[in-house]
Amino acid sequence: MNNSSEKDLSPVSLGVIGGSGAYNLLTDGALGEKQRTSILETPFGKSAPIHHFRVGKLEYLFLSRHGEKDYLITAPFVNYRANIYALKECGVERIISWSGPGIINASFKPGEYVLPSDIIDETKNRQTTFFKNRGLGFIRQNEPFCPQIREVIHNSMHTVGFAHHEKAVYVCTEGPRLETPAEIKKFRLNGGDLVGMTLVPELFLARELEMCYASICYLTNFSEGTITREFKTGELFEGMQTNQEKIQVEESVSRFPSILAGTFLSLSRTKRTCHCKDAMTRYKKKGVINDDWHTWLGPA
């Protein structure tokens, strides 16, 4: 693995941020032919390793947010700004992330896929903007997840026969602890369907740099208080996930290479027509910033 600058990576417009279980796909060769791996130095510290993959003529970059082995970095301590900055530096215009949230809406089941359409930010201590101490960042969030990518993912999953839910509100909590039953009740009353710890501030940072961002969620377990489960000491989620549900979740993760292959092929043929790429146009028109995104940033 090289500690490299952005000059070592030719521009690649498609990027993936992998969630829990991403390291397994990295090690078993399921993601395609790996060209090289680099870690970029950014104003916000080092990025996670960025893997350059090729599948046929298609190239994409892959980053595992929680580390290269097991679950090394918990959600509140991921260096989101360094990761998003590094992907932008590498030429990425579109990001697909995956995440394994818990279930608030009991009509959903573990192992199912969901394309979240909206988000509630319940984080507390994260650096959520690149524009610290600057008069920038007043950006509309009517569709926080890129609608164009979401449509392409939907069509790709439909083509390969992977059922999924098309709309859901993802509640992002601080972590690393799981949520209390009272918190889940509050989130449900506020319209939340899923609860996880990773999509904030990723999607907001991507929008600040005019990158498209959408997420594919695979559902891992029912959240606390959604259904009654016996506490089991020493097990994953302490009994919130049955053995059968664990198998279903593992199968869902194993299908990601197929989902990504079809989605990336379609995206590579689809011109960007969404509003994500124009998020900072107002500031450019006013002359507050220029076209060099590096100059937009505030201090680390």
Query: In the 3-class helix/strand/coil scheme, how is 225-251 assigned residue by residue?
Result: CCECCCCCCCCHHHHCCCHHHHHHHHH
**Mean of the pLDDT values across residues 1-22?**
67
User: In the numeric block, which tokens belong to residue 280?
Assistant: 């900072």
Sign of the alpha-carbon dihedral angle for 117, 118, 123, 125: positive
Structure pTM? 0.92
Which pLDDT score is estimated for 65?
Answer: 93
Q: Which among 154, 143, 148, 141 is positioned nearest to 115, based on CA atoms?
A: 154
pLDDT at res. 5: 43
What is the per-residue pLDDT across 103-117, written as a single tens digit (0 to 9) for each? 999 999 999 999 999
- 82-94 tens-digit pLDDT: 999 999 999 999 9
Q: What is the pLDDT at residue 254?
A: 87
Residue ranges in 161-289 assigned as alpha helix (H): 181-189, 199-208, 243-254, 256-268, 281-286
Q: Which pLDDT belongs to residue 228?
A: 80
Per residue in 17-58, pLDDT (tens digit) is: 987 766 677 666 677 788 899 999 999 999 999 999 988 888
Please state, rounded to an integer, the average pLDDT across all residues of the chain: 90
Number of helical H runs and strand E runs in the chain: 8, 16
Lowest mean pLDDT among 133-137, 165-169, 250-254: 250-254
Calculate the alpha carbon distances from 128 to 50, 94, 104, 241, 288 in Å: 21, 19, 25, 31, 21
State the pairing for strand pair 94-99/45-46.
unpaired
Give the domains, in start order, of the chain with CATH numbers. Answer: 2-296 (3.40.50.1580)
Region 126-141: mean pLDDT is 96
- Length of the chain, in residues: 300
Strand, helix or coil for residue 13: coil
User: What pLDDT is recorded for position 179?
Assistant: 95
For range 257-265, the mean pLDDT: 88
pLDDT score of 102: 96
